[in-house]
Amino acid sequence: MNNDENVYMSKLAEQAERYEEMVEYMKSVVTASGSDLSLEERNLLSVAYKNVVGARRASLRIIGSIEAKEKEKGSSNAALVTNYKGKVEGELDNICGDIVALLDGHLIGKASGAEASVFYLKMKADYYRYLAEFAKDSKKAENATQAADAYKAATDSAGGLAPTHPIRLGLALNYSVFRYEVQGETQDACTLAKEAFDSATTHPHNARSCSLGSPRRGAWLHHARSCPLPSTQPDRDAPWRRRDRPSWCCSPSPRPAASGL
C-alpha cells in the first residue's frame, strides 16, 4: 500500500478500535517517509501507540494490585500472578522500545520545526516514563534518566512555542507528573505546574487562544494553580497523587494526542 492508503487504513483501524493494527499502518507511514510527518500523521501515530501502551499500563496496575493481595495472603497463586505480570511487562517493553526506535531513527532528526520537535521529544520522554513506572532497580534508573533527558530537551525546544500552545502545556503536565511520581521531586513538580499555568494565563493572547479551550487542559491548569507545595502538606495528600488527580490523569485518552498523559 502507498502512504495515503496506510493513513486511511490507520484511521479505519482507529474507528474500529483495532489499535495494534493501527500501529502497524503508522509504522509503514513513518518508515516510508523521506520527510517529516504531517500534523495528522503525527497525531495518528501518537493515538495508536498511546492506546496499545495504555492498555498494558492499566493491566499492570490491576495485576500489581492482585499480586500484592495474593502475597499478603500467602497464596500459592502469587507466583502465577507474578509470572503473568512479567508477560505483560515484556509486551510493554517491546512496544515502548518500538516507538522509541522510530522516534530516534526516523522522526526526531526530520522534525520540520519547533512544534514537531517538541512533539517527538515529548513522546520519547513519555514512553521512557512508562517504562520507568514498572521497571526495578538499575533498569528503572536507566529509563528514568532517558526520560529526564528527553523531557529537558523537549522543554528547551518548547521555548519556540507560545505558553498557551497545547503541546507545550501537555509537555509541562507530563514532565511534572514524571518528576513527582518517578523522581520523587514533589516540590519541583508542583513548581513546574504552577509556572506553566502562570505563563499561559499571563500570555497576552491567552483570551483568544484555542489552546486553553480544551476542558481537559483547562482542568489541569486549574489544578496546577491550586496545587499546594508539598512542604505544606503530607505526601499522602500530595496533589499529584493518582487518587486525587482528575479522572483524565489516570486513563488513556484517544484525542487530542498532543496533551495526554
Q: How far is CA 125 from CA 42, 119, 177, 203, 258, in A?
A: 16, 10, 12, 26, 13
Dump pLDDT digits (tens) for 212-223.
445 555 555 555
Mean pLDDT of the chain: 82
Least confidently predicted of 68-72, 122-126, 157-161: 157-161
Domain spans of the chain, in order of start: 1-115
Residue 215 is predicted with a pLDDT of 54
d(CA 259, CA 39): 14
Residue 203 is predicted with a pLDDT of 63
Residue type, 27: K
Residue 188 is predicted with a pLDDT of 82
Residue 50 is predicted with a pLDDT of 96
**Beta carbons of 156 and 182 less than 8 angstroms apart:** no
pLDDT at 51 over 90: yes
Residue 254 is predicted with a pLDDT of 40
Spacing of C-alpha 45 from chain mean position: 13
Residue 205 pLDDT grade (very low, low, confident, very high; cuts 50, 70, 90): low
CATH no., domain 1-115: 1.20.190.20
Residue 198 pLDDT grade (very low, low, confident, very high; cuts 50, 70, 90): confident
End-to-end CA distance of the chain: 32
Residue 225 pLDDT grade (very low, low, confident, very high; cuts 50, 70, 90): low
pLDDT at 150 over 50: yes
Residue 34 pLDDT grade (very low, low, confident, very high; cuts 50, 70, 90): confident
Cell 497523587: give the residue: 241
Q: What is the dihedral of CA 129, 130, 135, 138, to 10 degrees?
A: -20
pTM for this one? 0.78
Dump pLDDT digits (tens) for 89-146.
999 999 999 999 999 999 999 999 999 999 999 999 999 999 999 999 999 999 999 9
